[in-house]
Structure formats: C-alpha cells, structure tokens
Amino acid sequence: MTTREFPPDFLWGAAAAAYQIEGAVDADGRTPSIWDTFTRLPGAILNGDDADAACEHYDRMPQDVALMKELGLASYRFSTAWPRICPDGGPVNQAGLDFYRRLVDELLGAGIVPWLTLYHWDLPQALEDTGGWTRRDTADRFLDYAMAVYDALGDRVDHWTTHNEPWCSAFMGYTGGGHAPGRQEGVAGVVAAHHLLLGHGLFVDEFRRRGGTPEQGKAVGITLNPTVADPFDPTRAADVEAARRLDGFHNRVFLEPLFRGRYADDLAGDTDGMLFAGRPWQDAVHDGDLQLISAPLDFLGVNFYHGDVPAALPYDAEPGELLGSRIEHATRPRQSPYPGGGFVFPRTGRPTTDRDWEIDPDAFTRLLVRLRDEYAVPPVYITENGAMANDVVEDGAIHDAGRREYIEQHLHALRDAMDKGVDVRGYFVWSLMDNFEWSYGYAHRFGLVHVDFATQVRTLKDSARWFAEMAARNALCQ
C-alpha cells in the first residue's frame, strides 16, 4: 500500500451553517430571517420541513464541540446568524453575540481553530422587506453587522469569510426563486450579486483598516461555489454557447470583479434589454465599487460537489423531451436561476450521489487548475465538499461506504491539483452533522455524524471514523 501525503500544516476540518443546525429561532432576541419566512411558503421545502429545531445546536453546542474533538478536527467552519446578532437588521444584541463567544471559547479550549463565515444566507427578514440584496443599503447594513461580530470575536478568531456561495444568495434567491427569499425577478440576481460583492468589499476594507493582515495573524476571504461548464455536445454550437453563458452567470460574474476589478463584457450582452426596477443592472455599480470588491484577499474558499454539463433547449421544451435530464435548473425562464434560462443539464452516464448529483472528481482538479491559471487566486481552502446519502441505521451503526468513497475520490483529485502546483491549504468536509438541508429539508443527509431528529441523538458514521483516521495520518492510502 502506498500513501499520498499532504503538507504538514494542511488544515483538516468540517463545516456547518447557523440556520441549518442551531434551531432556537426565537431565543434570546433572535428575529426571523428570510429562511424562516421561506420555509412557511407552501411547497417551498421538501416534506414541509422547517428549521425551528434543526439540530438544537444552540442548546447542545458543548456536546457538539466535544464530538469535533473526538473526531480530531483541527478546524471548524461555522457561520454567525445575522438575525441573532442584529435582530431585524438593527442594533447589536449582546445575548446573540454571547452564544458565539461561548462557541469560540469552547472551540479554542478543545484545540480547534474557529473558521468564521459572516453570511450563510440568513438575511434578516426586516431587511428583505425593504428590498433585501437588491437594495444597496443592505451592503452597508451587512458591514454594520459584520463589524459587530469582528469587534466581539476578532481577538480570538483569525480566519474570516465574508460570504458563502453568493451565487446561491443572488441567483437562487432573486432570479430562480428556489431559495429564500423566493423571488423570480430575472436580472435582479445580478443586482443582488453586485451588492453581495459590495458588502464583501466594504468588510475587507474595514478589516484591513483595523489591522487585519497576515502580519498580524489575520486572514480574510470569500467562499464561492464555481462550477465546470462542459457543453453536452461540444460539436453543437448551441451547447457550446450554453456552456459559455453558464460560466458567465455562475463563475465569472464573481471571479471577474473579485480578481480583475471588472465585469466581463459578455455579461452585459447576455443581459441586454433586461431591466430591474426599470433600469439596467449596471446602474447598481457606482464609482469605486469595483476597487473595493477587487481588494487583495488572503484566501479563496472553494465549495465543490459536481460539475455541470449544459445543453441548449427551447424555452418551451417539455420534460419528456429532455434526454432523461435532471431538471434541477428548470428550462423555463421564470424558474431558471439564470437570467434568460435556456438550458438544462442532461444525464451523461456518470455515477451519481443519492442526491442525483453526478460524480466527476476530474472536474474538481480542472476547476482548481483553472482558478490558478486564469485568475491567479490566493491560497485555496476547500470549504465544502461531501456527498448526500440515504443513510440507514443498522444495529446502531451507519455504514455509509458511498460517502467515504466520494470524499476519498475528491481528495485524490485535490491532491492531483496540488501536484500540478495549485496552492491548496485545507479541506472542510460538508458537513459535520446531518442538518436542515435548505429546500430539501431533513430528507437529504450530508453529515459525518448522524442525527436522529426525533431524539437529537448523534451517532458517528463509518465515514466519520475513516475521515478522522485519514486526517490524523495526513495522507491518503492507495
């Protein structure tokens, strides 16, 4: 047996998000987020689930940190809840901040590095009521909230992530409607994307002003979920065009402003004639915005689950005509998470996870190499990667071989990218424990730790024990 070792200081961890695990949605002054509202919409969440209890992490946090220590995690990536810390987007609520003070203290006491994400999709509903991320003022309110967190925790937290997957917040939330706040308003997704990036830039600027530099032991970045867009039929011009548009709306709408200080020319062409509130989306871009947004970062977080293989189809195509397609991104413009819609994702014959996401580790390697070659990104941390599986408890055990195999394949793909010179410094598996998986509710399980949502009993899965052993060894076997 041979091994593939990782660098001695490679960071191994697991990730979670506040809304997905905390519960206690009205405790200690917390007010509703857009997800509290969205879960009440008929048909929005699989099985009509809500996150009122979730994993009860708000009340069970010390036990959960003890689980992390048992697994030997070097780091824990978590998010803070904006409506808990600044209820209704208003003044700071110290009772809400106190929970995260206790969490950070518990992590440090267990020898676990806290890796903090400021925004993992739980915008206060009161701010959405005034326009949400389509309103420029929300970026300013984000800065107020973010600095309240920094003032409280900046002496003990060194790694700061502004946003998690702003693509989901912008396009799933304001164009496709499949995520909170559930709006289906075309090019509003691009407006929201710009304001999310502006909030990011405002925080990075203030972070630096307050001495947040690598020389002071501090680091700031953002987490994106870029995809690999391969045309279904590379000889068909329409499919090649669909792949270009997907790359533009999913990847380059964030990569270009962050790392080149501009929006790509084809984004304007693809949105030509589309108006939000009667105006082109470019009106949301003010002088100085792109300079703020493109300020140098200390790291880039990358979330990866699968690549995409788009095929161009007429808007009015029926599901039976879609070559057995998985209609995760629906064909009709009103439902598409991309302005204008116009393409779907046919099956390619690759194996899939139980969530029906195709497994393509090679795409992971290609993505990381592209980020290095085309955008000269800073050091990369894989901030989410994992597999949904239909776990079955058998005699008190969960034998999730498929999840282990998925993670192992992607770690080999990650090591391939590192062998090609990509500077990857850490890996966080998604997720620490089964949780409220957004619009899929509790039916889809990604955790290393099984949660019985009726009893809140936690059980380590086979994948958890394997991951702990592999991380302790700091090497893959092959």
16/209 Cα distance (integer angstroms): 29
Q: Which of 13, 12, 79, 11 is nearest to 431 (CA)?
A: 13
For residue 353, CA distances in Å to 45, 225, 399 come to 20, 18, 15
Q: What is the mean pLDDT of the segment spanning 454-466?
A: 98
Average pLDDT estimate for 235-253: 94
Average pLDDT estimate for 47-65: 97
Active site residues: 165, 384
Residue pair 430/463 in contact by the 8 Å Cβ criterion: no
The predicted-structure confidence for 324-377, as pLDDT tens digits, reads as follows 444 444 333 335 688 877 788 888 889 999 988 999 999 999 999 999 999 999
pLDDT class of 438 with cuts at 50, 70, 90: very high
pLDDT score for 314: 61
d(CA 123, CA 340): 26
CA distance 135 to 139: 8
3-state secondary structure (DSSP) of residue 321 = helix
Mean pLDDT computed over 440-444: 94
Q: Is the pLDDT of residue 466 over 70?
A: yes
Does 1 have pLDDT greater than 90?
A: no
Q: What length does the chain have?
A: 478
pLDDT digits (tens, 9 = 90+) for 24-42: 999 999 999 999 999 999 9
**395-408: average pLDDT:** 97
Secondary structure tally for the chain: helices H, strands E: 16, 16
Q: At what angle do helices 57-70 and 94-109 cross, to 10 degrees?
A: 10
Name the residue ranges covered by the structural domains of the chain: 3-473
| Residues in contact with 10: Cβ distance below 8 Å, sequence separation at least 6, in sequence order | 425, 426, 427, 474
What is the Cα–Cα distance from 264 to 241, expressed in whole angstroms?
15
Q: What is the pLDDT of residue 348?
A: 86
pLDDT at 431 over 90: yes
Measured distance CA(194)–CA(253) in Å, rounded: 9
Report how far residue 224's alpha carbon sits from residue 163's, in angstroms, rounded to the nearest whole number: 8
Residue (of 145, 132, 154) closest to 35 by Cα position: 132
108, amino acid identity: L
pLDDT value of residue 331: 36
| pLDDT at position 319 over 50 | no
Region 160-187: mean pLDDT is: 95
Q: Does domain 3-473 have CATH number 3.20.20.80?
A: yes
Out of 6-10, 172-176, 418-422, pick the least confident.
Answer: 172-176
Helix (H, G, I), strand (E, B) or coil at 317: coil
Mean of per-residue pLDDT scores for the chain: 94
- Contact, 126 vs 138, CB < 8 A? no
* Token couple for 257: 């402003």
Greatest distance between any 2 Cα atoms in the chain: 64
The mean per-residue pLDDT over the stretch 419-448 comes to 97
Tokens of 293: 């947004």
- Measured from the Cβ of residue 268, the count of other Cβ atoms closer than 10 Å reads 13
pTM for this one? 0.96
Q: Is the pLDDT of residue 321 over 60?
A: no
